[in-house]
Amino acid sequence: MRPPSAPAVEHYYARRLYPAVQANLTTLSNRVTLSLFDLTLSLVVVILIGGWIHWLRRLRREKSIRPIGRGLLATLTGAAIVYLWFLAAWGFNYARPPLEAMVPYDASRVTPSAVRLLAEYAVREANRTYAIAHAAGFPGVHDSPPALIDALHQVERELGRPRPTIVAQPKTSWLSPFFRASGVSGMLAPFYLETLLNPDLTGPERPIVLAHEWAHLSGYAPESDASFVGYLAALRAGPAAEYSAWLELVAESANQLQPITQRLVLQKLDAGPQGDQEAIRQRLKALVQPVKRAAWSTYDQMLKSQGVEEGVQSYSRVIQLLIGTDVLKVPGPQQAPSQ
């Protein structure tokens, strides 16, 4: 059986079925403060362990491998049902056309000098918005800022989504120790379309991470596409979200520069934003490297299995998207204000 084409997925799933599924599942999950993903995962683990205890006991009593066969069949059937649930609830979004095919995009704009200009612009904007953002205050880990919701809906309309996303109330998860150890900032829990956040996020991180996860909820599955939509929304959502986006973009763009150029750009970052970056580095000291490597390796393979050829490297593609679409209107060298 041939998989559906990207245009078919876009027309029938992303623009018709998924918005209806998303509205209903997220409305359901918003009714409870606990993560339904956590509860379902726990139930699945209990059933799996209980089932295999039963089949192994039958193996000893019957002296036959038939119970093992029944156990394997039941396990594979359950896994298939879970995977089909994942695809129907959210996973088919991976098969949508790439964002470059849906917005005006010019690959010739993406050059090393353009990346440096973007990094320098992000530094200036982070410096400019630091004080007003801190004065306004950052949302708590369970907050859903109305300005960010409105900005997301505005971006969705511009990108052609037929109905606004029902945003998921941010929740923390029983998986928070894993998030802490692996460096995961947040995730879209696909089965009930919930937004789960790492409770250790610093204030300046929360708006852009929330915008990114809500962009996933909107149906933008690849990490770069979700980051692109998240940046556009956060930059329109008031001082705290705007600063959060610029601070994240400083790191994201600087990471694509050569070391010497990176140092020259980052030395122009003021003490305030530098302090926020240091707070993020302190948070990340809780990382457990074997857990991080295992988690990101697994996620890399999952992304590739869904057709994202770059795997986790696709995160950095957002810089190419921002430059190639020119949505930020980054000023050229002659337009840049003096430092």
Q: How far apart are CA 167 and CA 215, in angstroms?
A: 9
Q: What is the pLDDT of residue 67?
A: 84
User: Which SS3 state, helix, strand or coil, does residue 154 take?
Assistant: helix
b/e map of 200-211 (b: 16 or more CB within 10 Å)?
ebebbbbbbbbb
Q: What is the pLDDT of residue 336?
A: 45
Q: What is the pLDDT of residue 314?
A: 44
Q: What is the pLDDT of residue 311?
A: 41
Q: What is the pLDDT of residue 139?
A: 95
Q: What is the pLDDT of residue 183?
A: 85
H or E element at residue 189:
strand 186-189
Specify the pTM: 0.87
Q: What is the pLDDT of residue 294?
A: 66
Q: How far apart are CA 243 and CA 179, in angstroms?
A: 24
Looking at the DSSP bridge assignments, the partners of residue 194 are: 189
Cα dihedral 155→157→158→160 (10° resolution): 120
Q: What is the pLDDT of residue 338?
A: 39
Q: How far apart are CA 237 and CA 234, in angstroms?
A: 5
Q: What is the pLDDT along the chain (339 residues), one digit of tens a residue?
A: 566 788 888 889 999 999 999 999 999 999 999 999 999 999 999 999 998 898 888 888 887 888 888 889 999 999 999 889 988 898 899 888 988 888 899 888 988 899 999 999 999 999 999 999 999 999 999 999 999 999 999 999 999 888 999 999 999 999 899 888 888 899 999 899 999 999 999 999 999 999 999 999 999 998 899 999 999 999 999 999 999 999 999 999 998 888 899 999 999 999 999 999 999 999 988 777 776 666 546 655 555 555 545 543 444 788 999 999 988 888 876 444 433
Residue spans of the domains in the chain: they are 6-93, 98-325
Is the sign of the CA dihedral 162, 167, 173, 175 positive or negative? positive
Q: How far apart are CA 299 and CA 178, in angstroms?
A: 14
Q: What is the pLDDT of residue 26?
A: 96
